[in-house]
Structure 1
Amino acid sequence: MADEKGATPPRARAAELNRLLNTYAYRYYALDDPAVTDAEFDRLLQELLALEAAHPELVSPDSYTQRVGGYVSEQFEPVRHAARMYSMDDAMDLPELDEWLSRTDEALGATPQHPVAYTCELKIDGLGVALTYRDAQFVRAATRGDGTTGENVTANVLTIADVPHALAPAGLAHVDSGGLGHTIEVRGEVYMPKHSFVRLNEGADAAGREPFANPRNAAAGSLRQKDPKVTSHRDLETFLYAVADESPLDVRTQAEFLQWLTDCGFSVNPHACRCTSAREVHEFCERALAQRDELDYDIDGVVVKVDSLASQEALGFTARAPRWAIAFKFPPEEKRTVLRQIRIQVGRTGVLTPVAEFDPVVVAGSTIARATLHNIDEIRRKNVRAGDTIVVHKAGDVIPEVVGPVLELRPEGSEEFEMPELCPSCGSPVMREEGEVAFRCVSIDCPAQAAERLIHWGSRNAMDIDGLGDEIVSRMVAQGLLSDVADFYDSLTEKSLAEVSMDRQSMDGDDIVVGKVIARKIMAQIDESRGRGLARVLFGLGIRHVGANVAATLAGRFGSLQALQAATEEDIAQVGGIGPKIAASVRAFFSVPENVAVVERLREAGVSLEQELTAPVRPQTLAGLTFVLTGTLQSHTRSSAGAALKELGAKVAGSVSKKTSFVVAGEAAGSKLERARALGVTVLDEAGLDRILATGEPPRGE
């Protein structure tokens, strides 16, 4: 409630700020789904700090200013840190940084003859981690979490190439007893390079997945994957810069400690500088800000630390941050421009992606004129329309992004954007699966998808046509020789393939063509591929959600494409490991006449559409039952146990609810076990799981 002058009372405003900060922090740290920009979050935090400084009675233990940012997910085993991992106080401009430098100099008794030395390091915008080494061997990795307890992400961190599995001898020479008998916890950031972030989001758009907002959230989401194999393909890297307890180390300064980390084999950011005056600190911050666009990783500021470890110890900590360090935050660069149109782009998998096209504007060192809007939900959330004056920036300083409209400048008569009902490339109907964010064209004849579909057909896990490279296929499509996969068998000839121009010229000025020798080899491979079998055909057709494993499962269950086409959606969904989502996609594919026509042409061309049943399908005795796996199993991984249950028709879920049939609890089972007991869900040990897998039957009486 506002006071008589219309201003919100301090206590009410502090409560509102705490509510907003906690909500936004949860979205950022726990869900990897930021609701506001970093600049807006920092502005709210600075407002709360100023309010509490003016009204000390508002400071309470549960204030956001008294806690370390972050949350601990229930998805991973909790890990208690050797010492607390603190947050960092911020300086939002150079005057604030100067105030901190002056206070620190005064506290440490600095004089012109004996100035305080500071180490300046780039502030990496990644995910904080703690790596534990015992007797010089890597044993565990944990996220920062709430500062006291983090998440055990050891299996995922082991996939990061630059994390050493053992400390190098050069570093151990500076550790008591050569590292033996000591547990050392080093700390730093896991981050995703900018080029990897671009590739990951391009793949998300192509597959119809939600894109990541920035490299930091991409790194956090990748590190928190349940399957380490997914993490291993996300191209994560690290920079280390801190230790929980330096007592066994023979180092006296932060600069010496960074060198020790390097000697041990850790990745340490090379852009660090020892400074002995405010002017030198300013110069480092200005250089970092000017050069940030040239880096292949995201930074959002500079961390300034007292160099002497003894002085750090003397200064100590506040409730949430060290007194001996501060983060100078860079201002975000945003520009205004006019959104001229929202155009639809059709990707290789048929995803229709809306793209904003606007007047060119220079942001973070380069000119941008377009940015993906990802999907219709994103357009609705940002409330953008053609004709709007919009604010744009670069997510992670690399990906052009529309922040939102300037509503007071919206022209009269502007209309909300609607996704088209027909594909703009081929005119086929557009569909949107329930629960999906993406609209798709499912026609196999769509020109926008043709080249990528044809390349996929010839790939190793599909029809394995050696010599059928991306360039040759793209040139055949461009020259009108191919439009769908059946063309490989019923219209392409050795002569027409040999004459395909590669759009290059020899030194003599002649057009380079495929030629008779290469054409003969490729045609022989195409002919041989007719007998690859149903599983490879299903995968090669590029049906949504049907990867190589799913294709093999469907081929093994139905035996022929004719039987699969005749099956109902319910029949397909009952196959172990398939489920309703894949079943709906398969039925949608075969409901398109153009797709059925291509399949018939493949049949007429002699392509094998049958599969020999090599193994009997296990009876679906667990159909209708839902299992949840928690804790550590001795004889199985949770992934392998889940797959075995699915083979028997069970559903394996990630959380416990009233609909859960059984919870299988291994060692160190946590909150899921507690919830199962609270809901009265039957809990099984690993022996009970083994009986189910051996007999194919649930426990008696259930």
Structure 2
Amino acid sequence: MDIKSAEQKVSDLHNLLNQYSYEYHVLDKPSVPDAEYDRLLNELIDIENEFPELKTPDSPTQRVGGSILEAFQKVEHRTPMLSLGNAFNEDDLRDFDRKISQAAGEDYSYVCELKIDGLAVSLRYEDGLFSQGATRGDGTIGEDITANLKTIKSIPLRIPEPLTMEVRGEAFMPKKSFEALNSAKEEREEEPFANPRNAAAGSLRQLDPRIAASRNLDIFLYSIADTGGTGVISHSEGLDLLDRLGFKTNKERKRCKDIEEVIQYVEGWVERRPDLPYDIDGIVIKVDSLELQEELGTTAKSPRWAVAYKFPAEEVVTLLKDIELSVGRTGVVTPTAILEPVRVAGTTVQRASLHNEDLIREKDIKIGDYVVVKKAGDIIPEVVNVLEDRRTGDEQDFRMPEDCPECGSELVRLEEEVALRCINPKCPAQIREGLIHFVSRNAMNIDGLGEKVISQLFKEGLIVDVADIYRLEKEQLLQLERMGEKSVDNLLKAIEASKSNSLERLLFGLGIRHVGAKAAKTLSQEFGNIDHLRDASKEALTAINEIGDKMADAVVAYFEKEEVAELIEELKSAGVNTEYKGPRPVKAEDIDSYFAGKTIVLTGKLEKLGRNEAKQKIEELGGKVTGSVSKKTDLLIAGEDAGSKLAKAEELEIEVWDEEKLLGELNR
């Protein structure tokens, strides 16, 4: 076969194999036997072996699993992958609808979709070619798992239009694949996976893509991350577009005109969910209009235009064998129920939180009781109540100790707190938990330094504070159990890489009381580096909108400690970055721009810029872009097909520009 004939044959085989794969994996309507597909695939492999230059990234042969990876690279999401707020009953759904109604009046509808119990992923296409796939991670930074996602045959490697776009979906393991995988594990006397979700997540985080390829994973796509160039104006239109482009979407979705239809849909699936060939743990309800979604906006963690209804929790009865105590990084002592292992909500449960001593007394929980345990999805199992009629008289009362179970210091109950707390700053449990927090995903995000490794390092005396992490040497790590040369090298690389993190990760990792990840970013943006923050007064801190008295007091008190000053200097000496690397908030008074200090709303379709780019440019020039028109709005930018926002702006006599005028001002 000459090269010209081979090119034509490869093209024909691509088309045939892609069509057969689409029919089998997306439409669930195979038109040829598996043997015929395998014959054609082997023919393509033979031609590509003979003519390697004809092997392309979108070839069907590229699904079988690539070379083994050293580690996963980090990926920053262009659009954050936010988590959803939860609803647990009809009242929660009606409350969600009431908030939508207050913002939108009566002109809105919903789209309901099954909430697949899997792993959220983002797929990037460049000119129609699948170029990158990533996990959700912390919503801002995920991991590049492109090679593993290519093994999912329902993901098209090329779409029929040369679009550059990002789509989101849920990768999952069908029940049949899960059962086959666990049967194989049991035959090899390996521990089986607890549930399909864990199995899917574990498969996609394998460094060897051939393992992912063997697991028979699947995916449902549920959104387009940026609809700018598609002309789509509603979520339901976006799903229809995904169908036309050859993506696999869940056909059980429904467009509902009001909350009554939503509730009927939810109730129907509460009963029908066991019949599905995959696991679902709820229903996702989204406002259909993309313009209204933008107007409603988001909180720091969740969109205001969507909610996840979680199916009712499962409850089971089991024996409470003991109560253990653990000391957290803030010194809070938490009792935990040790249970006779029992299956509930798809997982085996052996522990359940008891929260505090008051709850144990209120529910009259004794060691040796039979108890009702409740668990829903990812929610930590909890003890609901005691079965008193099953008591034998051998049960034992439980009392919290007076001293810390880790260091022996006296436990105290601070004013207005329910929990008992160890206030010894040298308590080993607090130090260990603080170290675990410091390396966690939302903090310094050091791969390979999990809870077990940290505990081992701490026990061996190799680390006693976070600065010690940056003094670790290869020879020390090689002496630890289950630490080979390759894993040690990867760990040291991860530690080195963490030095360049932006300030907000370090700040959150230090574990300052009341300072969460969002507040850490706000403080980092405002002060720019750790020295400026360390010198800030309470007045300067509370002048920031999101910082209250309690948090300001905690920040001031933290940086007043002599040992903290020493720790900061040690981190600096080790090369850890203490500067904020992201964009600083723009202050209107510092900018010579028409937009500085003005509140601006974008509506309609902007042909040349796109709304996201227009928003970014306006904010760079000191403007504030919001989603809804009000008396506080200074300017409305109206693109094509501007709707209710334009009418409202005209009613309020707000200045209105078209895209040409906006471009003229931006290009001045």
Asked if these proteins are the same fold (TM beyond 0.5), I'd say no
Normalised TM-score (structure 2): 0.42
Select the structure of larger CA radius of gyration.
1
Normalised TM-score (structure 1): 0.40
